[in-house]
Chain A
Amino acid sequence: MPAAGVVMIVAVLVIVGVLVYYLVSTIAGLRRITAGLEEAIAGVGGIIAKTTPVNEVVTDINAQLDAGVDLLEGLLVKKAGAADALGLIDGCYPGAGAAGLRRFPDAKASGAPRIGEVYTKGTLTLARLGREAPIAAASPDGPALRDNVFGSSAARALYPEQRQQRPGRMPRSPVIGTDAPAQYEPADEPGVRRRMPAGTTTAEGG
């Protein structure tokens, strides 16, 4: 065999060797890819299985919550009126009044009265329950009746008129302390008087 033929055979063998090396490496890489894809498919299958009922359940939950919101909005508007209802919502959750009411879109047009700024929540509840007055009608756009953090004089107007406007006609509260005009008799022991007031009997004395 000529030398050139030997070189040819060697070259072919080299080419075959290179082909074998790289193709085997490629096959190994593709097998790793296949294994990884099988894991990924299993994970995606798990995701699909777990999320299958989510759409139905969330839709049902939303329907229930919608019914609850409609119920509460309807009740609030029925009891407080559309404008005051917005003011109440805004007083409890500042800024929420801007979103308006879903079932009563017209209520948003008049704007939310600043009920929470004018009245405390407790005063508001008492006013609604006791007086049945449209409490926000007097000052829906005017200045706040009181400082909702520190002031309390405006809220006094909701209590009986005599105690607020003419307190001089009310009996004074008892004065206590060392400079009180009527001092109690000092006791030898805490809770035990030296002598009972006249006309008073004790269990022991009869």
Chain B
Amino acid sequence: MIGWWIGDIVLLAVVVPVVVYLLRNVLDAVNGIVPSVERIAKAADAASRDLDAAPLLLRTREQVTETVSVVAGYGGSLDQIVDDA
């Protein structure tokens, strides 16, 4: 009978606090990760929206090509008009 009581005391005084301590730390760690993940999700969403203008680079490329070709034509004309140094 004394052994049973010793087992009860050990269970209530040692095992239960250790279990509570360990599980509480696990839960705190998980709860600490949640806000970080939510911030990451918001940042990724905002970054994705910031890049909505990226397809406009295709138009920029076309315009740069047109501009350089115009400059090349103008340079060719200027080469004919102005004498060399």
Contacts and interface: CB of A to CB of B under 8 A. Distances in A.
Interface of A: 2, 4-5, 7-8, 11-12, 14-15, 18-19, 22-23, 25-26, 29-30, 32-33, 36-37, 39-44, 46-47, 50-51, 53-54, 57-58, 60-61, 64-65, 67-68, 71-72, 75, 78-81, 84, 128-129, 132, 134
B48 A50 contact: yes
B25 to A, nearest CB: 10
B27 A19 contact: no
B4 to A, nearest CB: 3
A108 B49 CA distance: 44
Contact of B45 (A23, A43, A67): A43
5 smallest beta-carbon distances between A and B, as pairs: A43-B44, A4-B4, A22-B23, A36-B37, A29-B30
B31 A29 contact: yes
Interface residues of B, number: 50
A68 B40 contact: no
6 contacts: A11-B15, A11-B16, A22-B24, A25-B27, A37-B37, A40-B37
B24 A4 contact: no
Contact of A26 (B11, B15, B30, B54): B30
Contacts of B71: 68, 71-72
A50 B30 contact: no
A4 B83 CA distance: 113
Contacts of A11: 8, 11-12, 15-16
Contacts of A64: 61, 64-65, 68
Interface in B64-83: 64-65, 67-68, 71-72, 75, 78-79, 82-83
What's the dominant secondary structure at chain A's contact region?
A: helix
Nearest to A84: B85
A68 B72 contact: yes
B75 to A, nearest CB: 5
Given A53-B57, A54-B54, A71-B75, A26 B23 contact: yes
Interface string B14-34: 011001100110110011011
A80 B85 contact: yes
Contacts of A5: 4
Given A15-B11, A61-B60, A2 B75 contact: no
Given A2-B4, A58-B57, A67-B68, A47 B47 contact: yes
Contact of B30 (A8, A30, A57): A30
Contact of A4 (B8, B15, B79): B8
B49 to A, nearest CB: 8
Given A11-B11, A64-B61, A132-B83, A36 B47 contact: no
